[in-house]
Structure 1
Amino acid sequence: MPFSWKRNLIVLWVGVFFCSTAYSISIPFLSIFLSDQLGVSNHLEIWSGVSFGITFLASALISPYWGSLADKYGRKPMLIRSGFSLAALYLINFFVHDPYVFLIVRILQGLLAGFVPAAIAMVATNTPEEKTGYALSIMSTAGATGSIIGPLIGGVVSYYSSNRSAFLFSAAIVLVSALIATFFAKEENFDRSAKRSRVRDDIREARSNRAFITLLLLTGISTFSVMILEPLLPIYLLDMGIAKNSASLSSGIVFSAVGIATVIMAPQWGRIGSRKGFGFILFIGLIGGGIGNILQYFVSGYVEFAILRFAYGLFYAGVLPSVNAMIVQTIEPGFRGRAFGLNQASTQLATMAGPIIGGLLGAFIPIRWVFVINGVMLLVAALLVKAAKLEVKVGEARSHGEGTEAGAGIKM
Structure 2
Amino acid sequence: MGFSWKRNLFVLWIGTFLVGTAYSVSMPFMPIFLQEDLGVTNHLEAWTGCILAVTFLASSLIAPFWGSLADKYGRRPMMLRAGICLSLAYFLYFLVQNPYELILARILEGLLAGYIPSAITLVATQTPEKHTGYALGIISTATAASSILGPLAGGVISHWIGTRPTFFIAGVMVFNAFLIAFFWVKEPLFKKSDAKRSSVLQDLKEAAANRNLVRILLLIFITSTSIMLVEPLLTIYVLKLGADQSSASLHSGIIFSAVGIATLIAAPRWGSIGGRIGYGKVLFIGLLGGGIGNLLQLAFSHLLGFGLLRFGYGLFFAGVFPALNASIVRNTDPDFRGRAFSLNQMANQLGIMVGPIVGGILAAQFSIPIVFMINGLLLLMVALLLRTPNFSFFHFRAHQQTESTPSEG
Q: TM-score range by the shorter chain?
A: over 0.9
Paired residue secondary structure (2:39): coil
Paired residue secondary structure (2:193): coil
Paired residue secondary structure (2:327): helix
Aligned equivalent of 1:226: 227
Deviation at 1:159, TM superposition (A): 0.4
Aligned equivalent of 1:26: 26
Q: 1:177 to 1:229 in 2, by over 3 A?
A: same
Separation in structure 2 between the aligned mates of residue 372 and residue 264 of structure 1, nearest angstrom: 26
Q: 1:404 to 1:226 in 2, by over 3 A?
A: closer
Tell me if structure 2 keeps the 8 A contact 1:24–1:150.
Answer: yes
Equivalent residue letter for 1:190: F
Deviation at 1:189, TM superposition (A): 1.6
Q: 1:393 to 1:273 in 2, by over 3 A?
A: closer
Equivalent residue letter for 2:174: V
Q: 1:80 to 1:38 in 2, by over 3 A?
A: same
Equivalent residue letter for 1:381: V
Q: 1:225-244 alignment to 2 at 5 Å?
A: 225-244=226-245
Q: So what's the TM-score if we normalise by structure 2?
A: 0.96
Aligned equivalent of 2:341: 340
Separation in structure 2 between the aligned mates of residue 144 and residue 97 of structure 1, nearest angstrom: 31
Deviation at 1:384, TM superposition (A): 1.2
Q: 1:115-264 alignment to 2 at 5 Å?
A: 115-195=115-195, 196-264=197-265
Paired residue secondary structure (1:121): helix
Q: 1:250 to 1:100 in 2, by over 3 A?
A: same
Paired residue secondary structure (1:190): coil
Deviation at 1:190, TM superposition (A): 1.1
Contiguous gaps of at least 5 residues in structure 1: 406-412
Aligned equivalent of 1:409: none
Aligned equivalent of 1:408: none
Paired residue secondary structure (2:232): coil
Separation in structure 2 between the aligned mates of residue 205 and residue 49 of structure 1, nearest angstrom: 33
Q: 1:294 to 1:404 in 2, by over 3 A?
A: closer
Q: 1:367 to 1:191 in 2, by over 3 A?
A: same
Separation in structure 1 between the aligned mates of residue 88 and residue 201 of structure 2, nearest angstrom: 31
Paired residue secondary structure (2:387): helix
Equivalent residue letter for 1:262: T
Equivalent residue letter for 2:56: F
Q: 1:131 to 1:400 in 2, by over 3 A?
A: closer
Deviation at 1:298, TM superposition (A): 1.1
Tell me if structure 2 keeps the 8 A contact 1:330–1:394.
Answer: no
Equivalent residue letter for 2:305: E
Deviation at 1:245, TM superposition (A): 1.1
Separation in structure 1 between the aligned mates of residue 60 and residue 270 of structure 2, nearest angstrom: 28
Q: So what's the TM-score if we normalise by structure 1?
A: 0.95
Tell me if structure 2 keeps the 8 A contact 1:261–1:313.
Answer: yes
Separation in structure 2 between the aligned mates of residue 312 and residue 123 of structure 1, nearest angstrom: 26
Equivalent residue letter for 1:228: L
Equivalent residue letter for 2:184: F
Equivalent residue letter for 1:120: I
Aligned equivalent of 1:265: 266
Deviation at 1:365, TM superposition (A): 0.8
1:307-345, CA deviations, whole angstroms, 9 ceiling, x for partnerless residues?
000000000000011000111111111110000000100
Aligned equivalent of 1:305: 306
Aligned equivalent of 1:354: 355
Tell me if structure 2 keeps the 8 A contact 1:74–1:190.
Answer: yes
Tell me if structure 2 keeps the 8 A contact 1:5–1:127.
Answer: yes
Deviation at 1:191, TM superposition (A): 1.7
Tell me if structure 1 keeps the 8 A contact 2:68–2:338.
Answer: yes
Deviation at 1:392, TM superposition (A): 2.6
Tell me if structure 2 keeps the 8 A contact 1:145–1:263.
Answer: yes
Tell me if structure 1 keeps the 8 A contact 2:49–2:232.
Answer: yes
Separation in structure 1 between the aligned mates of residue 184 and residue 395 of structure 2, nearest angstrom: 34
Equivalent residue letter for 1:35: Q
RMSD of the alignment, in Å? Answer: 1.7
Equivalent residue letter for 1:373: I
Tell me if structure 1 keeps the 8 A contact 2:117–2:342.
Answer: yes
Name the count of aligned residue pairs.
Answer: 404
Q: Does residue 329 of structure 2 align to residue 328 of structure 1? A: yes
Q: What percentage of aligned pairs have identical amino acids?
A: 54
1:206-249, CA deviations, whole angstroms, 9 ceiling, x for partnerless residues?
11111111110111111111111122111111111101111111
Deviation at 1:388, TM superposition (A): 3.8
Deviation at 1:134, TM superposition (A): 0.7
Deviation at 1:391, TM superposition (A): 4.5
Aligned equivalent of 1:282: 283
Q: 1:394 to 1:345 in 2, by over 3 A?
A: farther
Separation in structure 2 between the aligned mates of residue 42 and residue 2 of structure 1, nearest angstrom: 58
Tell me if structure 1 keeps the 8 A contact 2:329–2:404.
Answer: no
1:152-203, CA deviations, whole angstroms, 9 ceiling, x for partnerless residues?
1110000001000110110111111111110000001212124222111111
Equivalent residue letter for 1:355: P
1:251-289, CA deviations, whole angstroms, 9 ceiling, x for partnerless residues?
111000000000000011111111100000000000000
